[in-house]
Amino acid sequence: MEQMGQNLLMNMVIRPPRSAYPDDSHENDRVLTLKNGMKVVKKVFTITNPSGQKLSCSMYERAAEQRPAAQMPCVIYLHGNSGNKNEGTAYVELLQEACTNLLAFDFSGCGNSEGEWVTLGWKEKDDLASVISYLKELGTVSKIGLWGRSMGAATSIMYTAENNDKISCLILDSGFSSFQSIVNHLAQEQFGLPIQLVDMMMVGVGIQVAQKTGGMKLEDLKPIKHVPNCKVPALFIHGIDDDFVKMSHSEENYEAYGGEIKEVQYCDGEHNSERPQETLQYAVNFAKKHLLS
């Protein structure tokens, strides 16, 4: 039973279900006409991360003839541990109405990107750094905002804590404050395991995770340690019925956040639920305020 529990916990950290999809490279340069008549060009490409792995990316940019300026802000969408870049398409139209482009990508080990393991933000922040470097080199991006969901929110926090000068705002949806807190909650509430057994299993899990990922320590998965060093405007979002990452995680991150401008929106929904339209609109308005000012 203990070995089964260790395998379950290890897969929860570094090998959750992979959400692959049909190759979309044929959609490069596809022109999309939105409901309001705006035209957006979809770019499909890859970026190489510091480990040499190719990351699958999609960027949605206002068509050249409709661009309000040579440089426009861009939001980077960061998915959860079992997600992929296609989640970001839901935000294209709302962001374009706010004169903001969108780049979404698959973290290494996710979707159609290369890589075998997921690390809940530990290495994903390096993937993000590569994407941001790409945007900076384009010369057509004015400001950058991050919109992270679950693991993507944790990654946004870990990256921004060391790079406040590169980010203009954060939207942090259902981010966790501590991975150990998630494990304790799930073990006790959903599996009925005593905390002493969980602690024993986590020792073995930690050894296996470090071996497979090249040194990641489970105790490093604590965004709560990094939020005091984040200074840019931030909006926290959390579903009130989330029973995977409890709402208390966002509450803790919000309270510890180091920036002067911080807001929070609690909404109906669970961990992976679609967010209500009014919540999405609030988030886009928040981004617009801090990316276009």
pLDDT of residue 269: 98
- Domain count within the chain: 1
Measured CA to CA, the distance from residue 163 to residue 86 in angstroms comes to 26
Measured CA to CA, the distance from residue 162 to residue 145 in angstroms comes to 15
Measured CA to CA, the distance from residue 238 to residue 156 in angstroms comes to 16
**Domain assignment of residue 135, given as a range:** 28-174+230-291
What residues of the chain score a pLDDT lower than 70?
1-5, 190-191
pLDDT, tens digit, 9 for 90 and up, residues 4-13: 557 777 777 7
Measured CA to CA, the distance from residue 103 to residue 77 in angstroms comes to 6
pLDDT of residue 1: 44
Measured CA to CA, the distance from residue 114 to residue 238 in angstroms comes to 30
Residue 35 lies in a domain: yes
Per-residue tokens: 247: 């709402």
Residue 150 lies in a domain: yes
pLDDT, tens digit, 9 for 90 and up, residues 24-51: 999 999 999 999 899 999 999 999 999 9
Per-residue tokens: 275: 């967010």
pLDDT of residue 201: 81
pLDDT of residue 191: 67
pLDDT of residue 293: 86
Residue 61 lies in a domain: yes
3-state secondary structure of 41: strand
Measured CA to CA, the distance from residue 169 to residue 257 in angstroms comes to 13
pLDDT of residue 5: 58
Q: Do 98 and 68 touch, CB atoms closer than 8 A?
A: no
Mean pLDDT of the chain: 94
pLDDT of residue 199: 81
Residue 43 lies in a domain: yes
Residue 21 lies in a domain: no
Maximal CA-CA distance, the chain: 63
CATH number of the domain that residue 50 is part of: 3.40.50.1820
Residue 218 lies in a domain: no
Residue 14 lies in a domain: no
